Structure formats: structure tokens, C-alpha cells
Structure 1
């Protein structure tokens, strides 16, 4: 069965709250470049409160309920995160703590996930990516394998919502292709 014309729905989660966030910019650029094969809905985390188990009950916190619903309805997830102090930002970990509930049955369970990390440093946020992978594995997410996508010197590669590094952009799009292939493969199995 030829599935080349099928569109997959991916939630692009930005791990930065900054108005001029590099992570959000990367997701928006990728959303344009990957369309129509991949429909990326960019989501930011400023409305997600700090995790508090006392609040994790019915009725759900509206912003958390919406976040969980968007992820559950998607075919896959792309997380774009900066690196802060050799790790992932607290807002990313916090959002994942909310999304990880109920334990072993979260909206991330078996969901294909890809990661892009970035940093002004040449290392490109690789240490944040390792922490993020560990958390996602504990949530039973399905990490899409392939070369890690790390964007070093991200501040020099973005100008007016245009990504200046063509090779780097091609590399990111190939990673998205792997995510799409994983999603389409799962559709075949379920059909």
C-alpha cells in the first residue's frame, strides 16, 4: 500500500519560554518546510503550572488537560529544547511530569518521539538531550532512533525566522522523515 501522500500530525513542543526562543523558531521553520507531509502544531509551555499532585485530579487543570489531549490526538511528538546548565530546562521536565500521568498509561505511552536540542555553545545541547531521553524512556515513549539532532551555535544560524544553515536544515528534515516513517509504519501494522 502506497502511503507517500499521507499526512502525519506531529506536536512540536518548544522547551523554551523566551519570546524570541530559538526552539520555537526552529519548530516554526520545520513546520513550514515539512508541510504537507508532516503537519506540525507548535505548542509552548507557558500556561502549564508547576506539577502538584494535589492538582492532578478531576477536574483537570484546563491547560494541562489541553496539553495531554493534543499529545494523545497526535501521531507523534517533536521536542525542541535548549540546554540550561548542562540539562533540560525545568519547564520541559515539568510539562513531562504532568503528561506522564497516569503512570504507565500516559499520553506519551508508545508515542513516537524525536528530539532536537540547541545551544549557543558548539555542543548544541547534547546533555539536555540525554536527560530528556531518560525521562521519555521512563514514560514509555517510543524514541525514534537515528543520528541525534543537535544545533550548536544556534544564535548564528537563525536570522528573521530563516535558518541559514542549509546542511543543518536538511539534517533536521531527515530526522523528521524518520519520525514520519515510524508513524506510517505503525499505521500499516494497525491497518
Structure 2
């Protein structure tokens, strides 16, 4: 595997978020040759407005698009709110998907995961993300799926992922993302 740069995004703004902890775990448990950079500017992205998505979009949006374009792939950890994607994450991805021609998400390899204290993990939010990425023509990793249910039992109080089975699944997902990146590279 060549050196890969992955941009990791947590769909949560909460300080003690399990999904932000999952992003940090991805950085810690990334396979050799993969660097995981954490995107922490979600709070700075304004609501999508096509009237200002022109030659000079907001600086936070320019930064987001640049970081996505510079990355070989994305790792997205999403919570589930009301059976769906958190608004702040959907908003950021709406900005990233524009303009349709030249979108930073077009053809981008993406791994989706999520953590939740409930018994169902983030199944529905991940499904909604996968559906959205059909439109953006992103290359989403199909398997393994990583829905961390009862997350409070898998992370310690400092936010470290401690469950060995979950760590193994995370590593397998990151390996699959690396393979997806390699498959998408021009020959």
C-alpha cells in the first residue's frame, strides 16, 4: 500500500462524542502506510446557501473542500439523530458535493462508521449516508460495516476504544478503505 492520506470526520459537535472518539481510534489503529487526519471544522461550516456558493464561497467551505480534495479517502463517523444523519454533517456534505461538476466527493473512496449508546448503533444514519453518496458518485466501502452499539461499553472514560472485537472491525474497515483507494487510482 502506498502512503495514503485519509480525512476523518465526526458528525458530532459534542465534546465527549463517541463518534469523535471513533475518529481518534481510526487515527490510532490505522494500518501502516495510512495517515488519518482529523477534520475539526464542522462547527464553522455555515448553512448551505447556493446564493453564496459562487466564485468566493465562505472560507470554512473552501477549507473543507480543499482538505477533501487533498485526501485519498474519507472516514466518516456519524451519530444517528431521529433515525437520520445529524444536520451539521449533512450540511457539510452538501457544501462538499457542490458544484456538481468537479465535486470534491465525486469518485472519492469513503468508509462510513458510527457509534451509539443504544442497542441499534447508527444503522439508519449510515444507510442514509450511503444513499446520499450514490448521488455524489462516491466510492463507499461496502463491508465490513461498523455500527458500534452500546458504545459506552466499548470506550473507556477517557474516550479510548478498548473493545478488541471493535478494534479488529475498525482495522478491517480501514484496510477495506485502503483497498478502495488503490482500486480507484488511475493505472
- Cα shift readout 1:71-130 (whole Å, capped 9, x = no counterpart): 011100110000111111001110111011011431010011110022111111100011
Aligned residues: 185
Distance, in Å, in 2 between the alignment partners of 1:35 and 1:173 is 7
Q: Does 1:83 align with 2:80?
A: yes
What is residue 183 of structure 2 aligned with on the other side? 185
Unpaired runs of 5+ in structure 1? none
Give CA-to-partner distance per residue, 1:132-155, whole Å, 9 cap, x none.
111111111111121311000112
Corresponding residue number in structure 2 for 1:96? 93
Q: Deviations over 1:22-79 (max 9, x none)?
A: 1111111210121542111111311111111111112120000000000011100110
Question: Which structure 2 residues correspond to residues 1-191 of structure 1 after superposition, within 5 A?
Answer: 4=1, 6-34=2-30, 36-44=32-40, 45-159=42-156, 160-187=158-185, 190-191=186-187
Structure 1 residue 163 displacement after superposition: 1.0
Give the SS at the match of 2:29: helix
| Distance across 2 between alignment mates of 1:173 and 1:37 | 13
User: Per the alignment, in what secondary structure is the counterpart of residue 112 of structure 2?
Assistant: strand
State TM-score, norm by structure 2. Answer: 0.94
Whether contact under 8 Å (2:139, 2:180) holds in the other structure is no
Question: RMSD in angstroms over aligned alpha carbons?
Answer: 1.3
* TM norm structure 1: 0.92
Structure 2 regions of 5+ residues with no counterpart? Answer: none
Distance 2:32 2:15 in 1: 27
* Paired residue secondary structure (2:106): coil
Q: Identify the range of structure 1 (62-71 vs 175-184) with the bigger mean alpha-carbon deviation.
A: 175-184
Q: Indicate conservation of the 8 Å contact 1:24/1:42, yes or no.
A: no
Distance 2:106 2:55 in 1: 21
Looking at structure 1, the residues matched to 47 and 122 of structure 2 have their Cα atoms a distance apart, in angstroms, of 23
**Mapped partners of 1:150, 1:104: distance in 2:** 32
